[in-house]
């Protein structure tokens, strides 16, 4: 197949391109002019086309003669800061241009997969979410520009599916971790919450902050984050290899046409399970605290992706930790806290 990958120089796009190249497909990547990562993709066999997602002419040229379009390119919150205009031009207009170019391919087009995100919805109610999040469990109500722009792209895909019967699918990512990133996840580090609570002046926060200062040693010092009642936080993430697995199974699968899917890792994790595991592997301290703030407590229902195209993520959270440690020891990363 001829496959166009937008966002090909990103951590997901690069792995996607490498996988499909290794399996004998022709891969073309649309990249920003002067993208320094383009050379690496060209060296492994990808055809590189420079252009701007906001330019319909650039997108049409990139999509010419392609059978599959994997639309990963976007302005996203971790890569910014971006202005509202940049979010609009890249994410909304860019997706419109991709869908218009796909429409122009006629019968040659076999599939378009547009990437979305769990940032489109509010996952943080005061008491957490007791039930797994289904595709339609929560409204797509984000007002942050990144999430809101992705809400509109989902609506765009739906329009082209219903009006033009386009073979299109939306795949929604959970929080994505690449090599080594789990170790620097801010919410595993006690210093993150010390910094947050120091900005607050309520009695409850001041009391917890005092306890934190008494317990805190030096970096890295981890935290088992719990809600006010002592329930450990829970989160569902996604590893890059499981994304590639999902796309491998979904591409060209008619069961997916016109649908939206959530993908995430094999299972969610809780802070009381994974933080002691990390601490033990690194021989660093951790402390358990009940936090006076809205908790992270959710997981996703992955059964639609499993039922429709056989999605079966393989990577466990413990394996991610082990590989991140190896990655760090080989000079690929550092074990340091980051800010939220």
Residue 321 lies in a domain: no
Task: Give the per-residue SS3 of 69-126.
Answer: EEECCCCCHHHCCCCHHHHHHHHHHHHHHHHHHHHHCHHHCCEEEEEEEHHHCCCCCC
28 plus 114 within the same structural domain: yes
8 plus 142 within the same structural domain: yes
pLDDT digits (tens, 9 = 90+) for 272-291: 999 999 999 999 999 999 99
Backbone φ and ψ for 124, nearest 5 degrees, come out as: -125, 60
Residue with tokens 């997969």: 113
Residue 326 lies in a domain: no
Q: What is the mean pLDDT of residues 210-234?
A: 96
CATH of the domain at 144: 3.40.50.720
The last residue of one of the domains, among 124, 153, 173, is: 173
Strand-pairing partners, residue 327, are none
Residue 254 lies in a domain: no
pLDDT digits (tens, 9 = 90+) for 157-191: 999 999 988 999 999 999 998 777 899 999 999 99
Residue 284 lies in a domain: yes
275 plus 208 within the same structural domain: yes
Closest CA to 292 of 239, 246, 226, 220: 226
| Strand residue runs (E) in the chain | 2-6, 26-31, 47-50, 68-71, 111-117, 168-173, 175-177, 222-226, 234-235, 237-239, 260-263, 269-270, 286-290
Residue 300 lies in a domain: no
Task: Give me 304's structure tokens.
Answer: 């639609």
- Whether residue 80 is predicted with pLDDT greater than 80 in this model: the reply is no
109 plus 159 within the same structural domain: yes
27 plus 58 within the same structural domain: yes
73 plus 141 within the same structural domain: yes
CATH of the domain at 189: 3.90.25.60
- Whether residue 340 is predicted with pLDDT greater than 50 in this model: the reply is no
Residue 132 lies in a domain: yes
Using a 10 angstrom Cβ sphere, with 0-12 exposed, 13-18 middle and 19 or more buried, the burial of residue 24 is: exposed
**Domain extent for 276:** 181-233+269-290
130 plus 197 within the same structural domain: no
Angle at 1 between CA 239 and CA 10, to 5 degrees: 35
197 plus 149 within the same structural domain: no
138 plus 202 within the same structural domain: no
45 plus 14 within the same structural domain: yes
Q: Please, are residues 16 and 36 in contact by the beta-carbon 8 Å criterion?
A: no
140 plus 282 within the same structural domain: no
Q: Look over the chain and give the mean of its residue pLDDT values, rounded to a whole number.
A: 94
Quick one: pLDDT at residue 198? 97
Residue 214 CA to residue 86 CA, distance in Å, equals 44
Angle at 122 between CA 121 and CA 123, to 5 degrees: 110
Residue 255 lies in a domain: no
56 plus 205 within the same structural domain: no
The last residue of one of the domains, among 140, 157, 173, is: 173
Residue 50 lies in a domain: yes
By percentage, how much of the chain surpasses pLDDT 70? Answer: 97
Backbone φ and ψ for 66, nearest 5 degrees, come out as: -90, 145
Number of domains in the chain: 2
The last residue of one of the domains, among 123, 155, 173, is: 173
pLDDT digits (tens, 9 = 90+) for 84-139: 999 999 999 999 999 999 999 999 999 999 999 999 999 999 999 999 999 999 99
Other beta carbons within 10 angstroms of residue 282's beta carbon come to 16
């Amino acid at each position: 197949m001829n496959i166009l990958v937008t966002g090909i120089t990103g951590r997901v796009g690069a792995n996607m391109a490498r996988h499909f190249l290794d399996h004998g497909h022709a891969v073309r990547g649309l990249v920003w002019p002067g993208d320094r990562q383009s050379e690496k993709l060209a060296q492994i066999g990808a055809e590189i086309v420079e252009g701007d997602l906001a330019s319909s002419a650039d997108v049409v040229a990139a999509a010419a003669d392609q059978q599959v379009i994997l639309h990963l390119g976007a302005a996203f919150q971790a890569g910014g800061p971006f202005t509202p205009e940049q979010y609009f031009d890249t994410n909304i207009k860019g997706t419109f241009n991709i869908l218009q170019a796909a429409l122009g391919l006629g019968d040659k087009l076999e599939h378009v997969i547009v990437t979305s995100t769990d940032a489109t919805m509010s996952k943080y109610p005061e008491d957490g979410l007791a039930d797994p999040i289904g595709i339609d469990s929560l409204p797509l109500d984000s007002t942050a520009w990144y999430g809101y722009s992705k809400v509109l792209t989902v609506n765009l895909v739906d329009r082209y599916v219903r009006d033009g019967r386009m073979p299109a699918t939306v795949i929604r990512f959970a929080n994505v971790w690449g090599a080594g990133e789990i170790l620097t996840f801010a919410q595993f580090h006690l210093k993150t919450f010390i910094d947050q609570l120091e900005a607050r002046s309520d009695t409850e926060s001041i009391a917890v902050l005092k306890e934190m200062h008494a317990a805190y040693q030096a970096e890295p010092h981890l935290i088992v984050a719990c809600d006010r009642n002592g329930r450990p936080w829970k989160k569902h993430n996604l590893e890059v290899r499981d994304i590639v697995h999902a796309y491998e199974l979904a591409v060209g699968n008619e069961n997916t046409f016109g649908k939206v899917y959530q993908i995430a890792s094999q299972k969610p994790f809780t802070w009381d399970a994974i933080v002691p595991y990390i601490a033990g592997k690194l021989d660093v301290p951790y402390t358990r605290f009940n936090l006076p703030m809205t908790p992270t407590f959710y997981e996703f229902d992955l059964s639609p992706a499993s039922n429709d195209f056989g999605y079966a993520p393989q990577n466990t959270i413990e394996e991610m930790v082990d590989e991140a440690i190896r990655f760090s020891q080989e000079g690929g990363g550092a074990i340091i806290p980051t800010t939220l």
